[in-house]
Amino acid sequence: FQADGSGMYTLQALWTMARSQLKVTVIIAANSKYQILKLEQAKQNLPLKGTAASELTGLGKPEIDWVHLATGMGVEAVSVDTAEGLVKQLRHGLTLDEPFLIQANF
């Protein structure tokens, strides 16, 4: 389980999973922001609102498509928008003998 901001730091791990055919199911919480940077801003008493703060911590321009990123690295992937969809795809992923990524958009 990893959020999309921190996932951007470790994207190459998907390629390693595919190359090694690891039996791993990855869930990406696609919240479209670098939450860790927001926490650091708060610690430093920096403004959390406004255009500059939003652009620094936002991942929405352009939107990150984890399904395409994963498939480009050789990992099967799906996108879900509900908890029920997540449960269904997680069950599926856990049956596979290869890596699988779920982009959770909620």
**φ, ψ for residue 32 (rounded to 5)?**
60, 40
- Give the separation between CA 26 and CA 45, rounded to whole angstroms: 34
Q: What angle do CA 62, 81, 59 make, to 5 degrees?
A: 20
pLDDT in tens, 39-64: 788 888 887 777 877 777 777 788 89
- Dihedral pair phi/psi, residue 37, rounded to 5°: -70, -35
- pLDDT tens-digit map of 80-97: 999 999 999 999 999 999
What is the per-residue pLDDT for 106? 86
Give the C-alpha separation, 13 to 11, whole Å. Answer: 5
